[in-house]
């Protein structure tokens, strides 16, 4: 059965992480995504580990192969006039074009929105620049790791009395990719109603900021930013991650009511804490949080995290261990929902990848194929779609347009 974007073709000029995250969502929903690359300047993500069996190579990156599932790929040097002209032919038969180069790069190739409109007047073009196409910082180069502190997220992350901390990954990239995919789908809906394409000017920085709106409201309404406080909650107590038995094992526990706190006290064998004046109400527990955490961790530190989880959940207390990657991979819940994807890849064989997080009742989705190797779909795109003969394709290879 066809996906919801079946029949939609995407000319994919993206690279690294943010742009490919966007076009992967479109591929997941059934769009044909044609990724344009060149071996003269290989996508940075192709050169990132992890490497299967410890062997590096541009087609072997687990990072790249995760975020480019379901796509096609060709080799095309956009810096050459012939290459840019061929890219326009692909755009001419496409519905969407997506790029996330630094500001001005796509225009220097002659492939900006105004150029593409001349060959396809209803094209939808998504530009995912770091700071948007307008404003005094529009020409700045952007990277996901910098967008995390620039958004304000790092200022919210850390322990009480500590300096701001990085959150452990470049959230600016995947966050931008997901926002961009939503915007493209909205533009497709608009075009379906009006027949008009449009240009989408996206700021990756701004897409990082909108996910922490409550922090800005704290500043606006109370004149101060939220206080860094580790895994504590501004209102609930207890609410923390507690050490368990074993090396670096933990459990997250949260109680949102007096009833839940009473149940927790019963499970940990300290029913008397529920009547302790220090912990009588949520406000009291919050005021004496350090002492409360110590009482709870005295119990959890002797528990297996999964055994503790089962005991607490059975009593109606929210609790779950932070999972290591292997535990996530072995989750029966994810297996039951067919979340993991395993396709044969030309170089690395069958590897497990994270799949599609949505299930559509009327248009079932599936990852159609593993991520492509460099130039995997040259014959299909140049020959079948563009109608080039073997001699013409050979000439392009000889002139290093296809490279």
pLDDT tens for 343-385 read: 999 999 999 999 999 999 999 999 999 999 999 999 999 999 9
- Cβ–Cβ under 8 Å, residues 142 and 104: no
R_g of the chain computed on alpha carbons: 26
Q: What is the DSSP letter of 183?
A: H
Question: Contact 399/77 with Cβ under 8 angstroms?
Answer: no
At CA 176, angle to CA 175 and CA 181, rounded to 5? 100
- Annotate 119-133 with b (16+ C-beta within 10 A) or e (fewer): bbeebbbbbbbbbbe
- Pure H helices in 288-389: 289-300, 305-314, 325-329, 332-336, 378
Task: Give the span between the Cα atoms of 164 and 324, in whole angstroms.
Answer: 24
pLDDT at residue 139 tops 80: yes
For residue 2, the model assigns a pLDDT of 86
Task: Specify the pLDDT at position 68.
Answer: 98
How many other C-beta atoms lie within 10 A of the C-beta of residue 219? 12
Q: Which CATH superfamily is domain 245-320 in?
A: formyl-coa transferase, domain 3 (3.30.1540.10)
pLDDT tens-digit map of 319-335: 999 999 999 999 999 99
- Whether the predicted pLDDT of 170 surpasses 90: no
For residue 190, pLDDT beyond 80:
yes
- Compute the average pLDDT of residues 139-156: 90
Q: Which residue(s) pair with 353 in the sheet?
A: 341
Task: Say what the pLDDT of residue 1 is.
Answer: 67
CB 186 within 8 A of CB 194: no
9-211+332-398 shares its CATH topology with 245-320: no
Indicate the pLDDT class of residue 167, thresholds 50, 70 and 90.
confident
Q: Is the peptide bond before 192 cis (omega within 30 degrees of 0)?
A: no
Neighbours of 368 (CB within 10 A): 15
Q: What percent of the chain has pLDDT over 90?
A: 95
Q: Which residues are catalytic?
A: 173
Q: Tell me, what's the pLDDT at 267? A: 98
CA-based nearest residue to 100, from 145, 142, 58, 148: 142
Q: Over the chain, what is the mean pLDDT?
A: 96
Confidence of residue 145 (pLDDT cuts 50, 70, 90): confident
Global pTM reads: 0.94
Q: What share of the chain is helix, strand, coil (3-state, %, to 5)?
A: 45, 15, 45
Q: Which two tokens stand for residue 44?
A: 């940075």
CA distances from residue 226 to 218, 220, 223, 287 in whole angstroms, order as listed: 6, 11, 10, 17
Count the neighbouring beta carbons within 10 Å of the beta carbon of residue 292: 23
Q: Contact, 296 vs 242, CB < 8 A?
A: yes
* DSSP structure class, residue 175: H
Instruction: Give the residue-averaged pLDDT of 183-195.
Output: 98
Answer whether 321's CB lies under 8 Å from 250's CB.
yes
Is 9-211+332-398 CATH 3.30.930.10? no
Two tokens, residue 396: 């392009």
Name residues whose C-beta falls within 8 Å of residue 325's C-beta, 6 or more positions apart in sequence. Answer: none
User: Looking at the predicted structure, is the pLDDT value of residue 187 above 90?
Assistant: yes
Average pLDDT, integer, range 289-293: 98
Domains of the chain, by residue range, sit at 9-211+332-398, 245-320
User: pLDDT (tens digit, 9 = 90+) per residue, 57-89?
Assistant: 999 999 999 999 999 999 999 999 999 999 999
Report whether 72 contacts 380 (CB < 8 A): yes
User: What pLDDT score does 144 carry?
Assistant: 84
């Amino acid at each position: 059965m066809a996906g919801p974007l079946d029949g939609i073709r995407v000319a994919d000029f993206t690279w690294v992480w943010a742009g490919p995250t966007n076009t992967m969502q479109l591929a997941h929903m059934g769009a044909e995504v044609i990724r344009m690359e060149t071996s003269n300047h290989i996508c940075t993500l192709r050169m990132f580990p992890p490497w299967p069996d410890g062997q590096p190579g541009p087609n072997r990156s687990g990072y790249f192969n995760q975020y480019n599932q379901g796509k096609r790929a060709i080799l095309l040097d956009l810096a050459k006039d012939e290459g840019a002209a061929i890219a326009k032919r692909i755009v001419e038969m496409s519905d969407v074009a997506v790029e996330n180069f630094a500001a001005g790069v796509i225009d220097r190739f002659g492939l900006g929105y105004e150029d593409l409109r001349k060959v396809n007047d209803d094209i939808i073009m998504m530009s995912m620049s770091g700071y948007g196409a307008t404003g005094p910082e529009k020409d700045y180069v952007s990277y996901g790791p910098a967008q995390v502190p620039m958004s304000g997220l790092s200022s919210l992350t850390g322990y009480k009395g500590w300096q701001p901390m990085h959150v452990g990954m470049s959230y600016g990239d995947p966050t931008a990719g997901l926002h961009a995919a939503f915007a493209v789908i909205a533009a497709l809906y608009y075009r379906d109603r009006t027949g008009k394409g449009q240009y989408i000017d996206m700021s990756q920085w701004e897409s990082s900021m909108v996910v922490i709106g409550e922090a800005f409201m704290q500043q606006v309404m109370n004149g101060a930013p939220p206080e860094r406080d580790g895994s504590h909650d501004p209102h609930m107590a207890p609410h923390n991650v507690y050490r368990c038995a074993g090396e670096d094992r933990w459990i997250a526990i949260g109680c949102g009511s007096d009833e839940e706190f009473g149940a927790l006290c019963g499970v940990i064998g300290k029913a008397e804490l529920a009547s302790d004046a220090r912990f009588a109400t949520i406000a009291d527990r919050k005021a004496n949080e350090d002492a409360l955490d110590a009482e709870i961790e005295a119990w959890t530190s002797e528990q297996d995290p999964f055994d503790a989880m089962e005991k607490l959940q059975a009593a109606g207390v929210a609790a779950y261990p932070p999972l290591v990657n292997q535990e996530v991979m072995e989750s029966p819940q994810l297996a039951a929902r067919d979340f993991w994807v395993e396709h044969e890849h030309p170089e690395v064989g069958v590897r497990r990848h994270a799949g599609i997080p949505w299930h559509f009742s009327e248009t079932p989705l599936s990852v159609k194929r593993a991520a492509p190797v460099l130039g995997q779909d040259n014959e299909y795109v140049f020959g079948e779609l563009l109608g080039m003969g073997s001699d013409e394709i050979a000439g392009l290879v000889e002139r290093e347009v296809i490279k």
